[in-house]
Each structure stands twice: as C-alpha cells, then as structure tokens.
C-alpha cells in the first residue's frame, strides 16, 4: 500500500490538493496529514480525489468543531484524530503526531513500524534505533505549503517500507530509502 504523507498545509488548499493528486497518480491509497491544516475548508479539495485522509492537530489547531463537521460530511473520507493517531494501514503500525520531538520519542519505543511528524517544515526520512534493538522509520514530509522551505510531501510504500521526499509539482525527489 502506498500513502501520501503531508504536513503543515497552513490553509493552502491548492497545494494540499496538488500533493494528493500527485500521490494518487503514483498509486497512493490514503493520506496522512501530520498537522497544521488550520482551516477545515482547506481539506475539501484534497478529499475530492477520493482518498481517505487521516489528520492530526498541529500547534495551529484551527477550528476542531468545523473539522468534526467536515468529517461527518466526508462520508468517511476524513478521519480527524485530534493530537495524535494510532493507525494500521497496509498491515503496518503507524503513529502520527505533529511535533518531531514527540515523533522521535515514539519511534524509540519500538511499538511502531512508522512514525510520521511535521512542524519543522524540513523534510526528513530517517531510521531511529529503538529500545527493542530494531529500527523504526521516522518521516517528516516538510511543509506542503512551502513556507520558509520548499513545498514538499512524501510518498511512502508500506509494503517495501520505502519513502521518497518529493517537491510539489516537480519530478525531482530524493532517492528512495
């Protein structure tokens, strides 16, 4: 299963929808949004692509009641989880949170195959040594809005556990890990 991992869209509905469109064209079946969506209306164009969107809060929460309303109207496509999410997608255990420090700490537990975070606006794909003697993937897709950094998102292949940071609207991407 492939997933589109985004964060920090900061009310840039067009950028978020473009990342989802590009990911769907590459075979993505779901979207993980690591927070700072802000306005509930921001997610509507992305939902039009028909992929389920898993969303957590960021430090710019926006209007949680409006997000719950959008979730109810989405026919099950929008899944608003609050401050963090515990998901199972493609047979993988995934933890989603906005803050990278919290994400790194959760990766260290060894309880998750993949931890996704945002906030820093800096795209990064790393493996973190966990307390069980293994490694956990830690993915920060950067900012899809392109605020003080390139507009980026990450395409994840959960079957192969490969992650590629991509620039929005560009064929350029980092080598797959």
The domains found in the chain, sorted by start residue, are 2-167 (3.60.21.10)
Residues 6+ apart with CB under 8 A from 25: none
Please give the Cα distance from 38 to 59 (Å, whole number).
9
Residues forming a β-bridge with 48:
none
Q: pTM of the entire structure?
A: 0.95
In the prediction, which pLDDT does 53 show? 98
In the prediction, which pLDDT does 172 show? 53
In the prediction, which pLDDT does 62 show? 86
- Three-class DSSP category at 118: coil
CA angle, residues 19, 67, 153, in degrees to nearest 5: 20
In the prediction, which pLDDT does 61 show? 82
In the prediction, which pLDDT does 135 show? 98
Q: Which residues of the chain have pLDDT under 50?
A: 176
Count helices and strands in the chain by DSSP H and E runs: 4, 11
In the prediction, which pLDDT does 118 show? 98
The residue assigned the tokens 């980026």 is 152
In the prediction, which pLDDT does 91 show? 98
In the prediction, which pLDDT does 171 show? 58
In the prediction, which pLDDT does 18 show? 98
User: Which residues of 59-171 form beta strands (DSSP E)?
Assistant: 78-80, 84-89, 92-97, 114-116, 124-129, 135-140, 152-157, 162-167
Burial of 164 (0-12, 13-18, 19+ CB in 10 A): middle
Q: 9-20 burial, b for 16+ CB within 10 Å, e for fewer? A: bbebbebbbbbb
């Amino acid at each position: 299963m492939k997933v589109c991992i985004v964060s920090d869209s900061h009310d840039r509905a067009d950028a978020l929808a473009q990342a989802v469109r590009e990911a769907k064209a590459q075979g993505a079946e779901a979207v993980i949004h690591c927070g700072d969506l802000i306005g509930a209306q921001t997610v509507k164009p992305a939902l039009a692509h028909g992929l389920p969107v898993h969303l957590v809060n960021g430090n710019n929460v926006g209007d949680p009641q409006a997000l719950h309303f959008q979730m109810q109207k989405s026919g099950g496509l929008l899944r608003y989880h609050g401050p963090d999410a515990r998901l199972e997608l493609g047979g993988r255990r995934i933890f989603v949170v906005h803050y990278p420090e919290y994400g790194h700490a959760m990766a260290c537990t060894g309880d998750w195959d993949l931890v996704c975070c945002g906030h820093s606006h800096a795209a990064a794909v790393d493996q973190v040594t966990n307390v069980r003697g293994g490694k956990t993937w830690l993915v920060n897709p950067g900012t899809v809005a392109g605020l003080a950094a390139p507009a980026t998102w990450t395409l994840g292949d959960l079957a192969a556990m490969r992650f590629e940071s991509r620039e929005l609207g560009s064929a350029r991407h980092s080598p797959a890990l």
